[in-house]
Amino acid sequence: MIMQEKVEARTPILKMEGINKTFSGTTVLKNVNIELYPGEVHALMGENGAGKSTLMKIVSGVYMPDQDSGTITYKTDQVTWKDPMTARKMGIGVIHQELNLAPNLTISENILMGTKYPRNKFGMVRWEKVHRRAKEVLTSMGSDLKPETLVSTLSVAQQQMVEIARALSYKAEVLIMDEPTASLTDKEIDRLFEIIKDLRKQGVAIVYISHRMEEIFKISDRYTVLRDGEWIKSGPIQETNTDHLVNLMVGRDLKGLFQRSKGNDIKARDKENPALEVKNLSDNTFVRDLSFQIYPGEIVGFAGLVGAGRTELVRSIFGASDILQGEIRVAGEKVQIKSPIDAIRYGIALVPESRKEQGLFLDMSVKENILLAELKKHKKSLKINWNSLNHAADVYIKNLKIKTASPDQSISGLSGGNQQKAVIARWLSTNPKVLLLDEPTRGVDIGAKTEIHKIISELADAGLAVLMISSELPEVIGISDRIFVMNEGRITGHLQKNEATQERIMHYATGGNKDEINSVD
């Protein structure tokens, strides 16, 4: 655990007072204040849509605050950055939640993007020096990634490490970390925390944005809470707790978080006819001889460390990855799934791990994203029946409580939680028998998580079979009726709800066997 050290210098390196920001007449920040001190980690808390990203975009030069709306003091000068490059040159660094890399370039080129490359007397880039500089940054992070590797060949977790390395490649004095651990393994998270500890000793002021409460209390010195674009409270992290922060963020109590209401009491379960049955499934790479059943009306959680093969499993079931051996049965019928179209036809739906890259069409509207999979239902002759389409969209928006200005609003303007609800709505429109959810609440605030958990639970109560992958152990324990644990492509543990603990799951996730489980209890 990183111990919060006393901050000696009480003069803030960055102070924002009375900051306002309005877009097209809509106020997204109202009289917001925050102070950042050298050598401390400041947790910026709030639900999605609370204004955290907008505030940080003002800090990093992406947006300008409204005129006559307050002041920004950096060191001893009042400033406003005209663009991100100006802010970067002045020592403001950002590690983005949504990966912002160039996949067709190497790790080195991404890390040193925006800097002057060393050249020889003929003006040619000296790539050996470029790679050496990048390697120095990677080594300082404890990463063994090769600088010459194309970013497109990296996993999401590896790309996140490259994003962090790029921010560390120049001497930032204020470093903004927006959900930096969302795609990292426990080992990589521990290494990141060591890096943060070193940066604090060097006097860097760090803004840490995360929905993971355990991280907030482990890494932070102080906190600021925003709600609906307004400053709510700031203070030392030692003077608050999880329940207090949740109340500040959402303005209400959230009791029973991560708890499924019915648990194992599911009368709709048909023991003779599983909704989904997988037998000896393998792709000979990430998925190895997996067998399990999921019944109508139950939520089955899949836990494991990053790289355990969970995502590859659901992609194989959905026809997005090749299956080399094994069989899949839906409602007792053996099916051949060679593509997602086959999976949809047999009643299988997949909400993917990365909603923005794999689940959304960001240049399309909310209603178009929701109803894309069922446009044929709303065609009359060769034309789309827009009245029918609009009515169907309104029903999904109402039932899933999707917060949007209108069905015609661009999906890119919605918060992460509402975008995720829209993706879920799209797949519900196909009337599936089996719903596969891969990290359905990743990057979603605590209030939206509760709403999504309720949606998932209600779908199961209505008879849908749900397979849910989650890397958050309290979540997978709280919402699942049964839990399978994976390690290196295999199922290493199977737990009923009343047997599941974080210790047991981690035991199986790290390769432990059942005979050793008593030593964990």
Interatomic CA distance for residues 119 and 364, integer angstroms: 43
462, 289 contact by CB (below 8 A):
no
Residues 232, 271: one domain?
Answer: no
Interatomic CA distance for residues 502 and 403, integer angstroms: 33
What pLDDT, on a 0 to 100 scale, did the predictor assign at position 239? 94
3-state secondary structure of 223: strand
Residues 370, 497: one domain?
Answer: no
Residues 4, 143: one domain?
Answer: no
Residues 189, 313: one domain?
Answer: no
Specify the amino acid at residue 262.
K
Provide CB contacts within 8 A for 18, sequence distance 6+.
Answer: 31, 32, 33, 69, 70, 71
pLDDT tier at 513, thresholds 50, 70, 90: low
Phi and psi torsions of 395, nearest 5°: -65, -45
> What is each CA distance from 388 to 324, 374, 377, 391, in whole angstroms?
42, 11, 9, 5
Asked whether the predicted pLDDT for residue 253 surpasses 60, the reply is no
The region that residue 43 occupies, defined by phi over 0 for left and psi between -120 and 50 for alpha, beta otherwise, is beta
- Would residue 98 count as lying in a domain? no
Token readout for 177 is: 């970390």
Pairing mode, strands 299-304 and 465-469: parallel
What pLDDT, on a 0 to 100 scale, did the predictor assign at position 150? 93
Residues 475, 486: one domain?
Answer: yes
Could you please report the per-residue DSSP string of 342-384?
HHHHTTEEEE-S-IIIII--TTSBHHHHHHGGGGGGGEETTEE
Asked whether the predicted pLDDT for residue 181 surpasses 90, the reply is no
332, 271 contact by CB (below 8 A):
no
Residues 387, 339: one domain?
Answer: no
Tell me: the pLDDT tens digits for 346-388?
Answer: 999 998 877 766 667 778 888 888 877 676 676 666 677 777 7
What pLDDT, on a 0 to 100 scale, did the predictor assign at position 265? 47
Interatomic CA distance for residues 490 and 375, integer angstroms: 38
- Would residue 96 count as lying in a domain? no
Average pLDDT estimate for 406-414: 84
- Would residue 234 count as lying in a domain? yes
The region that residue 51 occupies, defined by phi over 0 for left and psi between -120 and 50 for alpha, beta otherwise, is left
Indicate if the alpha-carbon torsion angle 83, 89, 91, 93 is positive or negative: positive
Task: Classify residue 521 by its DSSP letter.
Answer: -
The full length of the chain comes to 521
Residues 335, 454: one domain?
Answer: yes
The domain boundary residue, chosen from 210, 228, 253: 253
- Would residue 97 count as lying in a domain? no
Token readout for 317 is: 């079931």
Interatomic CA distance for residues 251 and 249, integer angstroms: 6
142, 191 contact by CB (below 8 A):
yes
Asked whether the predicted pLDDT for residue 168 surpasses 70, the reply is yes
Number of domains forming the structure of the chain: 4
Token readout for 493 is: 């543990």
The domain boundary residue, chosen from 199, 228, 253: 253
- State pTM to two decimals: 0.60
Asked whether the predicted pLDDT for residue 334 surpasses 90, the reply is yes
Domain, as residue range, for 131? 103-170
Average pLDDT estimate for 27-55: 89
Specify the amino acid at residue 320.
A
- The domain that holds 35 is classified in CATH as 3.40.50.300
What pLDDT, on a 0 to 100 scale, did the predictor assign at position 257? 54
- Would residue 19 count as lying in a domain? yes
What pLDDT, on a 0 to 100 scale, did the predictor assign at position 359? 65
The domain boundary residue, chosen from 170, 190, 222: 170
pLDDT tier at 414, thresholds 50, 70, 90: confident
